[in-house]
Amino acid sequence: MSYRVIPPEDVDGVQMLPKLQLLQEEDPQLHLAWNPRAGQIELRLMGRVQREVFRRLVSERFGWDVALDKGRILYRETIANKVEGVGHFEPLRHYAEVHLILEPLAPGSGLVFDTVCSEDALDRNWQRLILTHLAEKPHLGVLTGSPITDMKITLAAGRAHIKHTEGGDFREATYRAVRQGLMQAESVLLEPYCAFTVEVPGELLGRVMSDVRAMGGSFGSPEDAGTLTRLRGSAPVAEMNGYAELLAGFSRGMGRISLRPDGYRPCRHSEQVIAEIGYDAASDTDNTPDSVFCAHGGGFTVKWDRVSEYMHLESCLKKPGETPRPLPRAAISIDERELEAIMEREFGPIRRPQYSAPQRNEAPVRQTSAAARREYLIVDGYNLIFAWDELKTLAAERLDLARERLMDILSGYCAFTGKELVLVFDGYRTPGNPGSRADYHNIHVVFTPAGETGDMYIERLADEIGRNYAVRVVTSDNLIRLSALRSGVLRTSAKEFAGELEWTLGQIGEILKKSEWAARPEKLGESLDDGKPQ
């Protein structure tokens, strides 16, 4: 958490900062920083106890009665794909161009800087200067203006002018290259998590476990702690903030909780957070992604999305001389066997029922490619359950029954429509979960393992087959839906697809009423209301 330090009325924040930094030198747990844009001192702490200790310490040492605001969450940003960032700085009598490769790293890796640039192309001293500029400041992301993390930034190419280049030119070009790369990348907002240890009387353990689940956290098996029961786990800091007071209340002072940082993970409500912060990356002139070029004796600014048209060096992510041309979707095709290989790798051998087709006398009809004929659906199971009122009500009582009911409904839907369907359930928060993949009648069902969210699996599978086949992703996650749009995959919200299923089930019911199956209670097309589990 980050808190704004509110000084007394007769004390200036700029004068207060050096003395507060003395406390930071004495206690490394204190993290003070001056925010020049807001003109205020910011303090990073965890919990109410640390806030009170800080205020008392300032009062005893300096006689100041300082206050802290309610605080805000310290978010981070990373990227999901590999991109090249280009920065060019060339006002009159200045010159520098920098090409950086930005790629994501595993969670908790922080920032890693490297160079693969040849010393024949750019002198070693210039390369060292660029690496220094990369490490000297916290680079901000483009979603919320939060610092970036968990990525590797590699110097791939650069150019200096033998006469006009000065040290500050590479600083400008480097900062702009980082920012331009971030503007192109698929950015991911990260929120902080904290590891917790809770000790409560045994009869209150169920209440604590229910609270943690509601927070979106996870926990292990309960442990015996003498007269108390101990529970360890991890939960978002935004949800755990203030839980110590709540715990003390319902346990009547018998419960204890301790917290420690547990890294950053993808934010659960990223769109809401982004909207609340309201950061506009294009308007942040202190961290601009645009470049400056020179023509006719003067410099001019080029917007970040057109820098590739003006840059002086070749792109480092494609072969020299290669000019990428977007191809129409219909021109891209892969063999049907390749798609079957992907599905067999994910779900095992494909078993198809054998039918003998009746003889037809009609002239053969010319068909399009198999890719155009077949539609693949990738469905986020939990999104669909909680977007459908009947299933949501059932899930509140028994989540496993809601899953089984959804699988039965989708199996009937696919039997009626002839579509292929992959149903994905998120097992990310279940510690030690190995995941599973299996077939349920005529649909594929995936439970993702611990460490892989359902969104990650859906995005990966859609990316593999979405460029060549009619793939539709059903999810309520807007980031996945935007990613699907960029890759050409159709996307449908879970709420919309629930309506489509209800309509299809109604059609099946009408057909069966007119057929000899109408009297059978187990008929496939029964409506959801008539088919609720007892």
DSSP string, 97-166: EEEEEEEE--TT--EEEEE---TTTS-HHHHHHHHHHHHSS--B-SSSSPBB-SEEEEEEEEEE-TTT--
Number of residues that make up the chain: 534
* pLDDT per residue as tens digits for the range 84-127: 999 999 998 899 999 999 999 999 999 999 999 998 889 999 99
CA–CA dist 394, 352 (Å, integer): 33
* pLDDT per residue as tens digits for the range 152-204: 999 999 999 888 888 789 999 999 999 999 999 999 999 999 999 999 998 99
CA 262 vs. chain centroid, Å, equals 17
Under CATH, what is the fold of the domain 336-346+370-513? Rossmann fold (3.40.50)
Q: What share of the chain is helix, strand, coil (3-state, %, to 5)?
A: 40, 25, 35
Structure tokens at 368: 């399009």
- The long-range contacts involving 223-228, CB below 8 angstroms and separated by at least 24 positions, are 225/199, 227/201, 228/199, 228/200, 228/201, 228/202, 228/254, 228/256
- Among left, alpha and beta (phi > 0; psi -120 to 50; other), residue 57 is alpha
- Residue 326 has what pLDDT? 46
Per DSSP, 327 falls in state P
CATH architecture of 73-316: 2-Layer Sandwich (3.30)
Per DSSP, 72 falls in state B
Contacts of 534 (CB under 8 A, 6+ apart): none
Structure tokens at 203: 């009869």
Q: pLDDT (tens digit, 0 to 9) for every residue of the chain, 534 residues total?
A: 677 788 888 777 777 888 787 877 777 667 777 777 667 787 776 666 677 788 888 888 888 888 877 777 889 999 999 999 999 999 988 999 999 999 999 999 999 999 999 988 899 999 999 999 999 989 999 999 999 999 999 999 999 988 888 878 999 999 999 999 999 999 999 999 999 999 999 899 999 999 999 999 999 999 988 889 999 999 998 888 888 889 989 998 899 999 888 999 999 889 999 998 888 998 888 899 999 998 877 889 999 999 999 999 999 986 444 554 443 343 334 455 555 666 666 666 655 544 444 444 444 444 434 344 467 888 999 889 988 888 988 988 888 899 999 999 998 888 888 888 999 988 766 677 777 888 888 898 988 887 777 787 887 887 777 666 678 888 876 555 444 444 567 788 888 888 888 888 888 878 777 765 445 555 444 444 554 444
CA–CA dist 294, 92 (Å, integer): 7
Contacts of 140 (CB under 8 A, 6+ apart): 77, 146, 147, 148, 284, 287
Kindly tell me the burial class for residue 295, based on how many C-beta atoms sit within 10 Å of its own C-beta (0-12, 13-18, 19 or more). Answer: exposed
Q: The pTM is what?
A: 0.54
- Residue 47 has what pLDDT? 61
Residues 55, 148 contacting (CB under 8 angstroms): no
**Annotated domain spans of the chain:** 2-72, 73-316, 336-346+370-513
CATH architecture of 2-72: 2-Layer Sandwich (3.30)
Per-residue three-class SS string for 332-395 = CCCCHHHHHHHHHHHHCCCCCCCCCCCCCCCCCCCCCCHHHHCEEEEEEHHHHHHHCHHHHHHH
